[in-house]
């Protein structure tokens, strides 16, 4: 697997928008230079024309459709615009509205939101509490019953 194209990715610095929802995110020249020097990472959203998996610069499209499937040993990779959306897609495809699922008490809130959106009912397997918050077979069994 040749990953050379992923080395030394550079952000195009002509336009940096700290908050795309507010005009106030536009920076002065001095602040822009400081940001380029000290800030970590960049937003792929700056390059998105609609679909994340179609961005060609940086090479997101190539990574998602060529490198990642090969690495995972699968035919195709589908990306979503967030954990909640991915969880919803799975829940919606394998369960019917009104079905029950079990989530553990440590589950991320996005799991509950996705289940609600899919019209599923949720039973919660309790954790052991502070300090370990363990999920046991017994707590799962109780939730299932």
Q: Would 18 be classed as within a structural domain?
A: yes
User: Same domain, yes or no, for 38 and 87?
Assistant: no
Q: Would 100 be classed as within a structural domain?
A: yes
How far is Cα 106 from Cα 90, in angstroms, rounded to an integer? 19
User: Same domain, yes or no, for 99 and 41?
Assistant: no
User: Same domain, yes or no, for 67 and 89?
Assistant: no
Domain residues for the domain of 117 are 83-144
User: How does pLDDT run across 90-126, given as a tens digit for each residue?
Assistant: 999 999 999 999 999 999 999 999 999 999 999 999 9
Q: Would 78 be classed as within a structural domain?
A: no
- Mean pLDDT, residues 42-65 taken together: 83
User: Same domain, yes or no, for 12 and 59?
Assistant: yes
User: Residue 75: its pLDDT value, please?
Assistant: 96
User: Same domain, yes or no, for 46 and 92?
Assistant: no
User: Same domain, yes or no, for 107 and 58?
Assistant: no
How far is Cα 46 from Cα 48, in angstroms, rounded to an integer? 6
60 near 52, Cβ under 8 Å?
Answer: yes
């Amino acid at each position: 697997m040749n990953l050379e194209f992923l080395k030394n990715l550079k952000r195009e610095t002509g336009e940096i928008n700290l908050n795309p929802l507010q005009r106030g995110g536009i920076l002065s020249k001095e602040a822009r230079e400081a940001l380029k020097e000290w800030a970590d990472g960049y937003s792929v959203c700056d390059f998105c024309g609609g679909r994340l998996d179609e961005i060609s610069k940086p090479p997101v499209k190539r990574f998602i459709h060529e490198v990642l499937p090969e690495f995972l040993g699968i035919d195709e990779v589908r990306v979503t615009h967030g954990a909640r959306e991915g969880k919803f897609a799975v829940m919606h495809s394998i369960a019917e509205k009104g079905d029950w699922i079990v989530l553990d008490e440590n589950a991320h809130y996005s799991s509950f939101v996705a289940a609600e959106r899919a019209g599923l009912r949720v039973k919660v397997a309790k954790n052991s509490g502070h300090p370990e918050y363990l999920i046991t077979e017994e707590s799962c069994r109780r939730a299932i019953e």
